[in-house]
Every structure is written in structure tokens, then in C-alpha cells.
Structure 1
Amino acid sequence: MTTFHSTRSTTDSLTAKQAIRKGIADDGGLFVTDALGQSKVDIANLAGRPYQDIAFDVLHALLPDFGDEELKGCIAAAYGDQWSDERITPLEEVGDDYVLELFRGPTSAFKDVALQILPRFMARTTPEGGDADEKIMILTATSGDTGKAALAGFADAPGTAITVFYPQGKVSQVQELQMTTQTGANVNVCAVEGNFDDAQTAVKTIFADHELAERLAGQHHVALSSANSINVGRLVPQVVYYFSAYAQLLERQVINVGDEVEFVVPTGNFGDILAGYYAKMLGLPVKHLIVASDRNNVLFDFLTTGTYNRQRPFFQTISPSMDILVSSNLERMLYYMSDGDTRLITMLMNDLKQWGAYEVPETLLARIRHLFGCGWADEDQVRQMIADCWERNRYVIDPHTACAWYVAQQMPRDPLTPRVVLATASPYKFPRVVNEALGLDATGTDFACMDVLAEATGTVPPAALRGLETAQVRFDAVSSVAGMTDVVESAAAAL
């Protein structure tokens, strides 16, 4: 049977359901399974199949202790009418490349792919003979998109509650309103004085606070879990869209079964691109995975030098969801690339915590660089790419996708290897930045900017985003980093 344990030790032996419910290991590590890659997905059977069927094959291989009917129920509820395209993640030909649109879900960001299904997973993880009254409180820090996608997924979900922290003043107006107007009796949202890394580090500290866990369980029947991609149940649904992209390329006869494909991925926390690595382990012919960063290019520096150093200036950019200096999911990749060397991972993560930096062995770096490439774009280059992509292809991209588009255009092109750029958010989540890049009026509210963008490009803003202008703000609390534990306890007491 497939079991999960921490990246930092092999003492745990959890089922997939237990790992999803727990979220993060007691030692601060992330849950992994050594069975990854033992079962493969049949790529010869992909073309022409609906997303839901592909999702079943992939998730069945990754989460084997979910029964077939359980899995089908989760998939049917997660990938239904709430998506604006029946393909869920449609692939569009843009110039010489392909763009995988991951923003067709209810919150217009790629996080929907995982966060529409994670609450369904969570509802099926209640242990037999456990506390019947226990609620899972999802606790998450967001750099912009995870928060709303998690809130939308967990709002009024039975047996759950959710508390979301976001960095005050460091998300777009649309992103903030998406969170602060969220309906649901079991949701709580709070701004934090600091940046995303401050909030994320505090959340990890809260998870590691055993006295707090005992208080929450004893007084409120609440256990904490995560909706960030540190939760394996959040990570694995993202593996599906890599197979979906491949299926669509097969269907269009761009490739034959077994041909390799490159993926260019805008990423800050490394989860989105790690899912591509999992896809490769499951048998997808992935030639390269290209990490695209913004000005906070800590991953670029790591992949070029072997040194990961978070002791560096933090830049607030026009691609806020990538403004991250501590890429949590990199730990999982290091675990697999080092052949499961938990002692090495523990040492590296201790170095990161103590010194703010670590250095991987040369042999490990060489192995990583064989698969992972990298590049980054500054803000002028991001704006230039938004304009360039529109002028050349009549296709509008958001600033995160533009980071990847820039990196893709800088790379040498192999005419025999199709290249897929992952588009992680709707341009209407960042209408002011997009308008500035396109030379359009960007002086009014974000909603006025949406209308200008729609008029100029003939595209249509997602109704859920445009409707935020008149939505009622429910949450306006601001906390210091030190006060986040109190926010969690108060939210638990209110359930």
C-alpha cells in the first residue's frame, strides 16, 4: 500500500487521506511517497478523452486509497458547470507556442484546479472512530490567488472552516476584494502587516505549535490543515493538467504518442512546476521544465548556482503571486532528486532556517539542471511581453503569464519539441497593469480598467470579477505577524 512520510524523516507511515487531512508533517517537512512513479499513466490512451477521465487516471495513481467511486464523486463535483470551458484547461495556439489556460475556474486563477477538489478530498478523510464533532480549519497564507480559490472551495463545506492571511497592500485591488467579500459562515480573512514570506513562515510556525493544537482540539474540537501546495492534496490535482495539455496536442496531431514536450511555468512557490515533475514521474514525456521567475528571482539563482539564499531584497512587483523568497515545494523536488536522502534535506532546511541559505552538492545540482531550466523577467520586460503578445498574436496575457512568455521567447527553439506556456491567471485580475502595458487608460478603478480592456481587445471580463465592484466587504481586520495565532484562536472559538 502507498504510504506517505515527511521529506525530513521516514518515521511517518500515513495513507493519502491521512496526509491530506494533516497537511504538514510534525517535523515541518512535506509529505511525500516513495511509490511515486511505480505506477504509470497510459499516455497512448489520452487523446480525445474528457478532462474528468484523465483526472481519474492520474489521481488514482497518486492517491490509491481513495475508492473509485469516491474519486469519481470528487472529480464530478470539482470539474463541472463552475468552469467556463468544458475542457477545464484549454490549450490555445499562440504564435509558435501553446498556452495552457488554467484560469477558466470560478476565481480566474490556476489555483482553482486544485482548490475545487481539495475540499471534496478533505470531506472524505474523517477517520473511523475519531472525534465526530471535529472540524478541520484550513489555515493558509496567500500571495494573491490561493486565498480566494481556497475560500471559494471551502465556503460552507461540511466539517470545515477556513482562515486566510494575505500581505496588506501587496495584492491587487481585485485579488483583495475577491477575498474580503467572500460569503460563507465558516470563512475568515485577515490582512497581515508584512510580506507573503512573513505570513507563510508564521503559518508554518502555527502548524508546529503543539500547545496550540491541543487547545484547539480540547476547547473547540478544531484541527488545523493547509490549503497551500505544502498539502499533498493540493499539489496532486495540478499534475492532471500536464496530461491534459499532452492529450490536446495528441488530438490535434501536433505530436505522436511518446514525443517530448517542454513546459514553461511561472512559479514562486515551486508547486505549479513540481506538478510537472510528478507528471514526468508518472510517465509523461517531459523534455524540460522551465522555471520562470519575476524580479524576486531566488529560484533562478538557485538553479544557476546551487545556492538557495533568501537573504536578499524583497521586491513588490506587478506579478504579486510570484513575490516569494521561500519556495516551499522545492523541498519535495530536492527529496526526490537526492533519491530520498532525508538527512540531506533536514540539513538543508536547518541551514535555511538558521542562516537563510543552503547549498546543494554539485552532483545533485547537475541532476536537477538536466531537467529544470530557468529564466526571469523584470517589470519592464513583463510589460513589454504583454504588449508584444497582443500586437503579434491578438492574445491578452496577465503579468505572471508574461514572465513565462518572456522566458520562452529568450530560449532557443527546438522545432521538433512543442512548447507549452502555463497561463496562471486571467488578465482581468490585473487590469491596471495590463492596460498600462497596452497603452490603454489605467487611471480609474480596477473595474473601470476592466471595461477599457474589454472595449479595446474584444474580450469579456469574467462575471465574478466584474461583479466585485458592488460586492459587500465582510472582512477588514489587520494583524501583526505576532498576532496571527490570536486570529486563529478567535476564529476557532467562533465556530
Structure 2
Amino acid sequence: MAINYSSTRGGENNVTASMAILKGLAADGGLFMPDHIPVLDCSLEELSHKTYQEVAYAVMKQFLTDFTEEELKTCIERAYDSKFDTEEIAPLVKADGAYYLELFHGSTIAFKDMALSILPHLMTVSAKKNHAENTIVILTATSGDTGKAAMAGFADVEGTRIIVFYPKDGVSRVQELQMLTQKGANTSVVGISGNFDDAQSGVKKIFGDKEFAKELAGRGYQLSSANSINIGRLVPQVVYYVYAYAKLLENGEIENGEKINVTVPTGNFGNILAAYFAKQMGVPIDKLICASNDNKVLYDFFKTGVYDKNRPFILTSSPSMDILISSNLERLIYLSTGCDAEETKKRMEELSKDGKYSVTGEMRARMADFVGGYADQAANAAEIKRLYDETGYMIDTHTGVASCVYHNYVKETGDTKKTVIASTASPYKFSRSVMEAIFGSEEGKGEFELIDEMEKASGVKIPQAIEEIRKAEIRHNRQCKPEEMEKTVSEILQ
């Protein structure tokens, strides 16, 4: 059955999957949503004997109905290949009673690789299907990981350019070096003097500028996005939650049909929304535990029903979650209104105007699967240390937030269902914060000195992605103010 896509704000309807992927964001500023969430057409029992690639096909063919079997299978094969350093693509590690779903075995050692390895392939097929003549310019804001993963995916892909904006002082040194050393004649990186929300708002503003779009089209360019606002990023993320359940089943860790909980460290809300989609597809997930850091705008939202971004922006040791405008929440708002685009649009206009909006009791009831929790800096560091001291397992600062929130949830509720924790980045990406959490102050030590010590302490080999940046030359050094972003895009595309 064909699935079409519509904007959460009502301005575009009945768009094919390939067109939604190509556009990234709807013309009215809304996000594309499928006209219904499809149900898996095979049992989890059947999927439990399949590879990651086979599970990916089973899930993605349901959403991307205008792709042929051959097109989709080719995209999957090219994406999930030897650039992942484990055969399973997303291994599950059991530690301290929970199951850590390691989503960081791709080429940039963060979970963004899971979707951004396939997006360039989906994008080029979509361009062909829709006879797009123009060069596709991928415009992306990053809180640290998306940028690198998107550039790695799109580097030297024919018919594309990619421009990434990141907060100059809001990412870890390893994250920054990964971006600044990125090769590829079609890649550009710009540090902005602002935070992630400034970068994200700037990118959305550029997408909304019709005149600029016209000017670019005249120069042979069309804009698209690699952020999780693009449905082509969200759909591949659904896969690993389906896969995790299937693997737990295969390994005899759960009975068929047994409900599990899922805990996700989240900022932009895409990763946990993907787990919600997996639940709607038929995976027996009970609670979706949404873990926030000190920027706990989502925690407050699930607690009160009011989304309010009017608060100080806090820079933390888990920078990929330092976000006050969670773009993907718009998709959940849309679902909670019964897919009422007018109601959704009204709230997004309030957010834009007043920085806040509230939801009705009925909408909250429809979001009852979600539970919010948060861990501040100290609690996060303590959890990283506790887990390492007790089990020898080392996690990064984002997974630390999730692990802490999960344990607090169990204490508060007594809910002991088996739980998958999304482990979203390698500890090597945040070596200083992780090493200081476990061993105390590491002042005076260089980034790579700490990385070498981490290898000894963790027993995990230094990933290729880190070795690559050790001696790589800096290729990008452009910077701008948030208000100069559009002008910067125009200059880069000269």
C-alpha cells in the first residue's frame, strides 16, 4: 500500500517519499509525516534470524513505497558495509542489568552514522526519480555529530554540496576536529558565534526564504536537509529499535511478545521519536524514557504539558543534547492532535512568537507512552564512574545521561521491565569529560594523550575515526555570526 507524506502544518499534501526526502522540509516550514504509520508485515520472530541489512529492508520498504526493491536494497547494501567496525552494525551490550544498544560503530563514531550512511544514497535515487536537474545543497545545523556524519556521507557524492553550521564553542574538541578536517571538494563547515538553537533557527530561516530559493534555483541549486527534520533520516533510525528487539528475542533475553522499555538521551527528539514509530509498527515497547541533560525543556514538557524554551541555555559535557528547540517534537504534537495540521501550526507559531505553547489534556493522554527524566552534570559524571567501577564498561556523556535517568526511573516506579538504552556515541568522542568523570581532573593533558590513556583503561581499541584526525590537516576555518548565515551560504556557492 502506497504511503504519501504531508506537512505537519498543512501546506503540502500527498507528497511521495522520494519527494519528501528531496525537499527535507515542507514549503510551509512543517515536517513531512506519513499518512499513517505502517505495521510490520512479518513477525519479530522471523526478523530475529535476519541481518541488520535484512531488518532495514523490512522496515524501510513500508515507509518508502515509491522506491523499487532493487533501489532500496542497493541503498542499504552501500550504507551498511565495511565502514561499520562490527558485523552486527548495532551490537547490544548487556551491562549492569540493562542492554546498551551501541549505535556508534560507523565511520564517525556516533549514532548519526546509522541514518546518515544511507541518506546520500536515498537522496541521489530520489533526485533521479523526480528528475531534479539542480545540484542539491544539503544545509545542516549540528550540535556536534550530525555535521560530521552528514559530511562523511555526502563527501564527493555527485550532484551534491553540503554546508554545515555548528556552534563554535559548543562542541567537544574531537567533534570539532572531525568536522574541520573533513575531506571532499563539495564540503563546507562554518562555526557560528552562537549556540545550536541559533544555528538551527538560522537554517530553518534560510529554508523559509522563498526569494533566496528562487535566486539559488537560478544559479542551479536546490536546498535540502540532513537534519532529523528530513524523513529520510528518521525512517532509518526506526530500524535499529526493531533490530534490538529481534536480537533480544534471538539471544533468549526476552520471550516473544514480552514488553521492553527504551531509554534515549535526546535533544532534538528524533532518536526517541524513531523508537515511538517502531512501537507503532508493532514492536512491544512499553515506556519511552526521554532522558535530558541540564537543558531539560523536554522533561518539563512531559511533566507539565507546557513547552517553554524561555530559559538560560546551558553548555554541558553532553553537547549534542544542548538544545532548547526540539524540532522533531512537532511530529509528536501533530500525532497527538489526531494529525490536525491547523492545531499543530498554531502551536508552532506560538513557539516562534512567544517561545512557548501548551497542549490539551487529550493531547497529553495520547503521549502517555513517554516519560521524562533528566540528569545534571554531576549525576551524569557519577553514573559514568559508577558503571565503569562496577562493570568495567565505559560509556560516553550522552549515554551517561540516559543510564542515570533509567536507574532513577526504576527506583521511582519499581518498573523492572528489560530496558534498551540507546548508546549514542563512542566515549572516545568525549574523552576528556569521560576520563575526568572516572579518574578526576586531567588538567594539563592533551586530547590525544587522554585518548591513549582511555584505550588502556577501557580495553577498547582506538577507533579509526580518532586515528584519522590525530594528524589530519585543518581544511575548514570559516566563521560567521548567526545573522550572516544566508549571506555565507551565498558566498560558498559562488
TM-score when normalising by structure 2 = 0.97
Q: What is the alpha-carbon distance in structure 2 between the residues aligned to residue 485 and residue 10 of structure 1?
A: 24
For 1:225, the aligned partner's letter is: S
What is the SS of the residue equivalent to 1:482? helix
1:252 is aligned to 2:272: no
For 1:198, the aligned partner's letter is: D
Q: What is the alpha-carbon distance in structure 1 between the residues aligned to residue 409 and residue 130 of structure 2?
A: 55
1:363 is aligned to 2:366: no
Partner residue, 2:475: 474
Give the Å deviation of 1:313: 0.6
1:411 is aligned to 2:409: yes
Q: Conserved in 1, the CA contact under 8 Å of 2:154 and 2:161?
A: yes
Give the Å deviation of 1:343: 1.3
Greater CA drift, 299-308 or 30-39: 30-39
Q: Which runs of 5+ in 2 are unaligned?
A: none
Partner residue, 2:201: 201
Label 1:428 to 1:39 Cα distance change in 2 as closer, same or farther (>3 A): closer
Q: Which runs of 5+ in 1 are unaligned?
A: none
Provide Cα deviations, 1:106-134, integer angstroms capped at 9, x if missing partner. Answer: 000000000000000001012567453x1
Greater CA drift, 413-422 or 307-316: 413-422
Instruction: Within 5 Å, give how 1:40-439 maps onto structure 2.
Output: 40-127=41-128, 130=131, 132=133, 134-219=134-219, 221-368=220-367, 370-412=368-410, 417-439=417-439
Q: What is the alpha-carbon distance in structure 1 between the residues aligned to residue 417 and residue 132 of structure 2?
A: 53
Q: What is the alpha-carbon distance in structure 2 between the residues aligned to residue 106 and residue 276 of structure 1?
A: 23
Instruction: Within 5 Å, give how 1:449-468 maps onto structure 2.
Output: 449-468=450-469
Q: What is the alpha-carbon distance in structure 1 between the residues aligned to residue 250 and residue 121 of structure 2?
A: 30
Q: Conserved in 2, the CA contact under 8 Å of 1:450 and 1:466?
A: no
Label 1:345 to 1:41 Cα distance change in 2 as closer, same or farther (>3 A): farther
Q: Conserved in 1, the CA contact under 8 Å of 2:163 and 2:187?
A: yes
Partner residue, 2:34: 33
Label 1:66 to 1:172 Cα distance change in 2 as closer, same or farther (>3 A): same
For 2:211, the aligned partner's letter is: E
Provide Cα deviations, 1:329-357, integer angstroms capped at 9, x if missing partner. Answer: 00001111221011110111011001000
Aligned length: 490
Greater CA drift, 56-65 or 411-420: 411-420
Give the Å deviation of 1:75: 0.4
Give the Å deviation of 1:174: 0.4
Q: Conserved in 1, the CA contact under 8 Å of 2:52 and 2:88?
A: yes
Q: What is the alpha-carbon distance in structure 1 between the residues aligned to residue 25 and residue 36 of structure 2?
A: 19
Q: What is the alpha-carbon distance in structure 2 between the residues aligned to residue 36 and residue 54 of structure 1?
A: 17
For 1:329, the aligned partner's letter is: N
Provide Cα deviations, 1:200-245, integer angstroms capped at 9, x if missing partner. Answer: 00100000111111111102x1100000000000111000000111
Provide Cα deviations, 1:171-212, integer angstroms capped at 9, x if missing partner. Answer: 011000000100001000000010000010010000011111
Q: Conserved in 1, the CA contact under 8 Å of 2:102 and 2:423?
A: yes
What is the SS of the residue equivalent to 2:199? helix
Greater CA drift, 251-260 or 141-150: 251-260
Give the Å deviation of 1:256: 1.9
Give the Å deviation of 1:72: 0.5
TM-score when normalising by structure 1 = 0.97
For 1:410, the aligned partner's letter is: N
Q: Conserved in 1, the CA contact under 8 Å of 2:11 and 2:28?
A: no
Q: Conserved in 1, the CA contact under 8 Å of 2:39 and 2:282?
A: no
Q: Conserved in 2, the CA contact under 8 Å of 1:144 and 1:171?
A: yes
Greater CA drift, 463-472 or 68-77: 463-472
Q: What is the alpha-carbon distance in structure 1 between the residues aligned to residue 112 and residue 59 of structure 2?
A: 18
Q: CA RMSD in A?
A: 1.4
For 2:114, the aligned partner's letter is: V
For 2:22, the aligned partner's letter is: R
Give the Å deviation of 1:64: 1.1
Label 1:80 to 1:284 Cα distance change in 2 as closer, same or farther (>3 A): same
Q: What is the alpha-carbon distance in structure 2 between the residues aligned to residue 38 and residue 104 of structure 1?
A: 28
Label 1:285 to 1:10 Cα distance change in 2 as closer, same or farther (>3 A): farther
Q: Conserved in 2, the CA contact under 8 Å of 1:40 and 1:282?
A: no
Label 1:400 to 1:416 Cα distance change in 2 as closer, same or farther (>3 A): closer
Q: What is the alpha-carbon distance in structure 2 between the residues aligned to residue 129 and residue 101 of structure 1?
A: 36
What is the SS of the residue equivalent to 1:412? helix
What is the SS of the residue equivalent to 1:430? helix
Partner residue, 2:6: 5
Give the Å deviation of 1:366: 2.5
Q: What is the alpha-carbon distance in structure 2 between the residues aligned to residue 415 and residue 352 of structure 1?
A: 34
Give the Å deviation of 1:12: 2.2
